Structure formats: C-alpha cells, structure tokens
Amino acid sequence: MLKPTVGPILGHITTDEARVFLRGKLHESALTFAGIRYRVRGEERWSKGIFAKLDATRDMSDVIVIRGLGHDTDYEYQAGWFNTTNVEHTVKSVHELPLQWPQELYRLRTRSGSAGTPRAYFVGSCRYLRMTAGIPSAPHLGDRIFASITQMAQQAEPPVSAMLMTGDQIYVDDLNFFAPDREFQQILAKYRAAFSQPNISRLMANVSTYMILDDHEIEDNWPKNKRPSDNILYTNAITAYELYQASHSPAFEILHDGRISRNPKHYWYQFTDGDIEWFVTDSRSRRNLSADDRRILDVEQENALCQWLISSPARVKMIVTSVMFFPDAKQDGDDAWAGFPGQRLRLLETIRSHRLKNVIFVSGDVHGSLTSRLTHSEDPDFEVHTIVSSPLCNSRLLPHARRSSFILDQPLVRNDAGEYRQELTGKVISQDNFAHLVIDAERIQVNYHDQEGKLLQSTDIDLR
C-alpha cells in the first residue's frame, strides 16, 4: 500500500465514530482501493481493514467511517491505497490480500460526553497559497504556520479537540485578474496542492478538522458580483468543496451500510463536544440579495439556528460564521452581516428575549484577529462575544486589518427596545496568526499566536 496522495484528513469525531478522508491515484487498467486500520493506542493488535473503492468521479478520494469506537479513548491508525488488476475485487474481498500497510502512525481521540471538562480548539481562516500554472508558488509560506499549530497540539493541555477552519481554505480566484481558474480540474488541483503540503497534512491527520466555505472557495464577494457565465464556475467550485471540505463533516449523513451519503441537504451543520456545542453556519452559498427579503442565511438555516439556540442544553454555544457578525468593517462591510441588518437583529433579539447566556460568534475573513463584546443599553443581562481569527497566511498583495478598519464609535444597531453597544476586548492582531481557545468551567481563554507559535495576545471571556 502507498501513502495517500492527499490525507488522511481526520474529520468529524463523536464518542464512538470517526471520519477519515483520503485520496489515492488513478490507474487506467486497474481498480483502486483505499483502506484504514486502527487500534487502541498502546495495544499491538490491529483491527480488520476498512476499505473503500475509489473512482475518478470523486477525484480518487473517499471518506471512510470508523464505527464502534470507545468514548474518550486514544487510538492510532494507518491509512493507504493500492491498485489491483483483478477487476473482480470488492471492498470485502480485498480483506484477503496480503497488504503491507504504510508505516506512518496517526492518532485520533474520541469525544467525551462528560460535562465541565476543560476543552481546547484551534481556529483559523484565510490560508493563501498562490498557484501559477497549476504549481504552488513558494508553498512553504502558506504551510509554515501549521508546523507551529501541530507542535502546540502535541503539547497542549487540555488536549485539542478540533481545528475549526472558518473559510477561504483555498483561493480559487488567486489570479483572478490574469488567469482565473474556472475549470473543475483546475480547482481540484488547488485543493490537492493546498491540502498535501507537509505541515497542514500532518496537522489534519492527527487533529479533527471542521471546515466551512467562504467566498474565495468560489469567487471574491460571491454572489454579489455573479455574472450569468459564473453558473459553471459555481458548479465546479462547489463540487470540489463538497469533495475536499464538506465530505468529512457532519453535513454528510452516514448511510445504513456505513458509507457517506453523496447528496448533502445543506452545508451547515452542528457537532457536540461534551457540554460545548458548535453550530457551523453556511453564510455564503444560501444568500438572498433581493431587496424585499435580504438574507445571509436561508429560511431553513435561520430557523434551525434559532431553534438550536433556544432548545440546546449546552453550557457554551459556539456559532461559526465565515464572515464577521460584529463589529462592522468600514470597507466591504455589506459582504458580512452588516449587509443583512434585519436578519442579524432577529438573531440578537432571539438571544436577548430568551435570556441566553454564553453565546459566542466565531469567524474569520477580514485578515485581522480580534475579540469583542456586545451589550444592550436597557438589558444588563444581555452579553454576546465574538472571536475573529484571520489570516493563517495573507497574500502580500493585501493589507492586514487594523483597529481603524472597523466601526467602533457607534452602536451596532438600535431598535425600540434600546441599543446594542459594541467594544473591543483586546487589540486587533495585524499579522498572520491562529487562535488557541481553552474553555473551562469559568472562562474562554483566547490566545492568538504568530506563525512561529509565539503568543501575541491572551484575552479571557468570562462565562456566566
């Protein structure tokens, strides 16, 4: 067996299941299979292999689901792929082959259902990797920050539960003015290059990774500047997104035979980690820009989000939105929640009227990182926070955001009940960075680190 050409990528993990994405390579006169085997860390005996047949329609990739795991348990696994010229082979018959597995070991840890246990997460967005004629240009620049994240993951206490990548994991439009990529194979090549760099590959093989798209997975400020000819671009970009980002997330259902569904109903999803729950919104592909019903989330998603906010018993509720919920940016603010004030106010009023506590919005997009707090002039019990982490790697052609980039000298919104007032709770980080969140019984500690892992700033959000 050979090492995966992309992956393994450790995706959604529960108390008893884990999803692993991996890719092989096409051989025109042979069948291609990918496989995984696993064992409890420290034991000698391996499980039977779990195999998937790969085909070109999915760019020789698939997601393998490991089921029946023990909760709160450390495992190690191996992953690989191989060709066979015996066209009669199936995922069952290849168990009998004398396979030699790749020697590299990867780790995964299942979730714990216990409440009150401290947990940690990484958050990042906007990873720029320029491609020229299909080849990454200076790829080490877009990959080096992941070496620091991996090193921190190996040493972190409490252990890191997951990495949240909140948008712009690739830039389909990185050369938009000169030679925009629009064809399916061009976009797939960007994913293969971006996700196979050594440091990000090592991180995603050992830390559960959750992703959601933003505009650059399709086109800058999508769909504001959409043209009729962009329908093909959207189809190609979103199909590639499904393969490489959404397929290993909870957005794809597991069928009765253990395989992943090929037809997701939507790209937003939820996952649970003890008494902490995450709702990862799709704030990009379901937008309605019409004047009479302007929405950044479609009706079904807004209803699901509000119902989750009201009914979930989670102690901490984390809402991921690829674009900023607040504060508003002075330039291109209408591409984020500022451009959809009616829907934003409905969400805020839902949180306030139901007296919900410990609601945190997590986002990226703006090429600057910050924490901020929202209060209400007439309701002292209302408090909402935002955590912004961006970028993992900026383009040299684009500036980093600064404090002066945001509207901070006026209320976020007013209505008959009063004013929603905003304030920064730390400095604006104006360089490449990532966030390390530690959530315990009393607070969320937000630690921003630079490319080398050096601590830039630490801010505490007190839980109520």
Output phi, psi for 58, to 5 deg: -115, 30
Whether the ω angle into residue 223 lies within 30 degrees of 0, i.e. cis, is yes
pLDDT at 391: 97
Residues 195 and 102 in one domain: no
Closest CA to 169 of 206, 195, 132, 138: 195
* 357 Cβ contact partners less than 8 Å away, ≥ 6 residues apart: 383, 463, 464
Residues 77 and 204 in one domain: no
Among the candidates 54, 80, 109, a domain finishes at 109
382/420 Cα distance (integer angstroms): 9
Check residues 421 and 331 and name the one with the higher pLDDT: 421
Closest CA to 252 of 25, 56, 61: 61
Q: Indicate whether 1 belongs to any domain.
A: no
Among the candidates 72, 89, 109, a domain finishes at 109
Residues 303 and 212 in one domain: yes
Residues 80 and 207 in one domain: no
pTM of the prediction? 0.95
394/367 Cα distance (integer angstroms): 7
User: What is the mean predicted confidence (pLDDT) over 193-209?
Assistant: 97
Place of tokens 């674009």: 323
322/277 Cα distance (integer angstroms): 17
Can you name the residues that pair with 372 across neighbouring β-strands? 386, 424
- Mean pLDDT for the chain overall: 94
pLDDT at 169: 96
28/40 Cα distance (integer angstroms): 37
Residues 211 and 352 in one domain: yes
**How many Cβ atoms sit within 10 Å of the Cβ of residue 354?**
12
282/389 Cα distance (integer angstroms): 17
Q: Indicate whether 65 belongs to any domain.
A: yes
pLDDT at 8: 98
Whether the ω angle into residue 8 lies within 30 degrees of 0, i.e. cis, is yes
Residues 39 and 138 in one domain: no
Alpha-carbon torsion (388, 335, 413, 347), positive or negative: negative
43/437 Cα distance (integer angstroms): 32
Place of tokens 């959404």: 246
Q: Indicate whether 114 belongs to any domain.
A: no
Whether the ω angle into residue 158 lies within 30 degrees of 0, i.e. cis, is yes
Concatenated DSSP letters of 264-299: -S-S-EEEEETTEEEEE---STT-B--TTS-BSS-H
User: What is the mean predicted confidence (pLDDT) over 230-259?
Assistant: 94
Whether the ω angle into residue 391 lies within 30 degrees of 0, i.e. cis, is yes
pLDDT at 212: 98
Q: End-to-end CA distance of the chain, in Å?
A: 52
Among the candidates 68, 88, 109, a domain finishes at 109
Residue 216 pLDDT class (50, 70, 90 cuts): very high
Q: Indicate whether 58 belongs to any domain.
A: yes
User: What is the mean predicted confidence (pLDDT) over 19-37?
Assistant: 95
Number of structural domains (the chain) is 2
| Six token digits for residue 231 | 């329908």
Render pLDDT for 403-450 as a digit per residue (tens, 0 to 9). 999 999 999 999 999 999 999 999 999 999 999 999 999 999 999 999
Output phi, psi for 192, to 5 deg: -60, -40
Can you name the residues that pair with 429 across neighbouring β-strands? 369
Residues 34 and 78 in one domain: yes
Total residues belonging to the chain: 464
Residues 33 and 125 in one domain: no
Residues 104 and 125 in one domain: no
Domain range holding 63?
6-109
Residues 187 and 102 in one domain: no
Torsion on CA atoms 391, 209, 56, 103, rounded to nearest 10 = 110
How far, CA to CA in Å, does 93 sit from each of 15, 50, 96, 221? Answer: 30, 11, 6, 48
Residues 192 and 334 in one domain: yes
62/248 Cα distance (integer angstroms): 9
Residue 139 pLDDT class (50, 70, 90 cuts): confident
154/319 Cα distance (integer angstroms): 26
Q: Indicate whether 451 belongs to any domain.
A: yes
CATH of the domain at 307: 3.60.21.70
User: What is the mean predicted confidence (pLDDT) over 240-256?
Assistant: 95
Element (H or E) spanning 209, and its range? strand 209-211
Q: At residue 132, does pLDDT exceed 70? A: no
Render pLDDT for 149-173 as a digit per residue (tens, 0 to 9). 999 999 999 999 999 999 999 998 8
| Six token digits for residue 437 | 């969140």
> How much of the chain exceeds pLDDT 90, in percent?
86
Q: Indicate whether 172 belongs to any domain.
A: yes
Place of tokens 């990862």: 280
193/80 Cα distance (integer angstroms): 18
Q: At residue 137, does pLDDT exceed 90? A: no
Closest CA to 283 of 293, 295, 294, 292: 295
Place of tokens 């050369």: 175
How far, CA to CA in Å, does 203 sit from each of 46, 111, 152, 244? Answer: 23, 18, 10, 16
Q: Indicate whether 318 belongs to any domain.
A: yes
Residues 77 and 186 in one domain: no
142/158 Cα distance (integer angstroms): 27
